[in-house]
Structure 1
Amino acid sequence: MKRRFFFFVILCFFIFSGQVFPYFVEYKEQYYKLYHIHYEQEPDDIVENIYWLERAINADFCNPLHALGKITTKKEWEKYRYMFMMHLNLKMVEQHLRLGSKYDKQAAYFYNYPWKEQNIESLSKAEEFYEAALVYWHEAKLWAEKANMREFQFLFLDSLPFWENERARIASGDLNYERTIKRELLRLQKVREDFMNMDDSTY
């Protein structure tokens, strides 16, 4: 009976060993694969994505053999690293803008007066996320500039066309989050002022 129980325990160990020893995540590419777009896009979902992207930014690159695109030369590997960092920072911009929009108020309506302080606090959170997005945008631009250096002028990573498109759009000015973010910050400031000017006479 004891021997049968022992074999049962051993069998369970091998069956569930994948759960006992989880997959070890170490490199940028691995963390990036944990980033995903949720259908509902609740604040917690966005915060989760920001967490994985931040871990990806701070992690090491994997071996070129396991890169997200085909790498055959050292120059391709160098450009890949620049564009990957650009792409990660762009995703951070998008996620912070999306998170900020969850707390933003597009307008201050008179009937919002009973929740004036809560709305002002919510706007402060939105402003914080928008300002963080601006920081990541500046980082993305710096990495895009590195990927646009003259030595890469005729080097195109065919397996990563989306990243190449992002790089080209930043270089041309077609992709400019700074313009969008600053516009949102100005609008937010106006809405905040409207809330702060509310009193009993305006309700």
Structure 2
Amino acid sequence: MDNKQINFNAARFITSAPNIRQMPADAGVEIAFAGRSNAGKSSALNTITQQKSLARTSKTPGRTQLINVFELSEGRRLIDLPGYGYAKVPEEMKLKWQEALSEYLQQRDSLKGLVVLMDIRHPLKDIDQQLLQWASDSGLPVLALLTKCDKLKSGARKAEVLKVREAVAVFGGNIRVEAFSSLKGTGVDRAREVLTEWLLQDNAAEEQEATA
């Protein structure tokens, strides 16, 4: 599919919400980005949208405490979910993040795809696996981006991608695994292709109905 049909560079910040009740109306198509707090989620969002500061990056992981909403065009949004799994935050705050994350994933009807970001050197932690299993059980397609792949040499990178692809097969469902580097641009075009496919699925459904 031609990824020029979605202008990722047009992404703009709409709002930060502590829960789904303060988010925009639950209509259209949303693609959510989730990952451990040090997996490079904000950097990936910035790279995919070709904007240096769309999503805030910080040397202190765990700064994304709210659900951040970015609009690409009317009815099409990218969602930056609270980072999970970072130990150096108060337990009460951690529980609030997890509650917001769980609530969004389970109750948001416009969620049509999930991007799970994992450091290629430390993939498939328990909480990553829980998220992948939930998505698979829910019938939600997943793009698993193995970030910071520039940290590994080519051979090791390919081996890790294959290993993770084999590992996620046990979850069933539609889970694609790709190497990704915000620094080198590795996997960015592939990520945009998958996101475009998801974001335009309502168009495809309308076309099918029109020709039926």
TM-score, scaled relative to structure 2: 0.25
Higher strand share: 2
- Compute the TM-score of the two structures, normalised by the length of structure 1: 0.26
Which structure carries more helix by proportion?
1
